[in-house]
């Protein structure tokens, strides 16, 4: 399934040219146009799924395996010091393009990026209440 209005469908299926660092029958991996760091790239499934809620489990698993493979390769080739793999779902979580994608972000000492969250604080009772909500049938 492709979405005719989706830019990532067009890129993933080669209708719009892109800097492609990997391609197989299920995925195209492209360089991000607004890179957070040197080498920031995106794993795009060729089929359209809006987000993690919609993508089939097997395809998400394949994307995770590919992320591991490319993280190793990119770390070696680019001389990265670390790596973030980020996957945003829905606007509230920072997703701007509603076609499932995995960010591959090589990290370098002092690269000036602030990708991690601000640690919070929470009372124990609230932690317990959240845990029970998740565990409840
Ligand atoms: P999101 O915020 O949805 O998780 O990430 C979308 C990413 O796609 C952003 O990092 C943005 O820079 C990138 N992006 C948006 N449009 C294009 C495009 O047309 N080509 C490429 N290569 N990257 C894009
Ligand atoms: Zn799409």
- Residue 23 CB partners (closer than 8 Å, separation 6+): 29
* CA 77 / ligand 1 centre spacing (Å): 23
Exposed/middle/buried for 95, CB within 10 Å: 0-12, 13-18, 19+?
middle
- What pLDDT is recorded for position 57? 98
Give, for ligand 1, the residue of 7, 21, 29, 32 to mutate: max count of ligand atoms closer than 8 Å to Cβ. Answer: 32
- What pLDDT is recorded for position 110? 95
- What pLDDT is recorded for position 66? 98
- What pLDDT is recorded for position 2? 82
**7 CB less than 6 Å from ligand 1?**
yes
**17 CB less than 6 Å from ligand 1?**
no
Residue nearest to atom 16 of ligand 1 (CA): 33
pLDDT tens over the chain, length 137 residues: 789 999 999 999 999 999 999 999 999 999 999 999 999 999 999 999 999 999 999 999 999 999 999 999 999 999 999 999 999 999 999 999 999 999 999 999 999 998 888 999 999 999 999 999 999 99
- What pLDDT is recorded for position 135? 98
Q: Which residues are annotated as catalytic?
A: 101
pTM: 0.96
* CA 134 / ligand 1 centre spacing (Å): 32
């Amino acid at each position: 399934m492709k979405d005719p209005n989706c830019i990532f469908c067009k890129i993933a299926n080669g209708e719009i040219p892109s800097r492609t660092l990997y391609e197989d029958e299920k995925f195209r991996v492209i360089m991000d146009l607004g890179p957070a760091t040197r080498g920031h790239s995106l794993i795009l499934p060729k089929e359209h799924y809006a987000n993690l809620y919609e993508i089939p489990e097997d395809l998400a698993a394949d994307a995770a395996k590919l992320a591991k493979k490319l993280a190793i390769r990119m770390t070696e080739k680019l001389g990265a010091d670390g790596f973030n793999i980020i996957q945003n779902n829905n606007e509230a979580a920072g997703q701007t393009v509603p076609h499932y994608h995995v960010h591959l972000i090589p990290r370098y000492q002092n690269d000036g990026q602030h990708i991690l969250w601000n640690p919070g604080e929470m009372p124990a009772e609230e932690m317990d209440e959240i845990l029970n909500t998740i565990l409840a049938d």
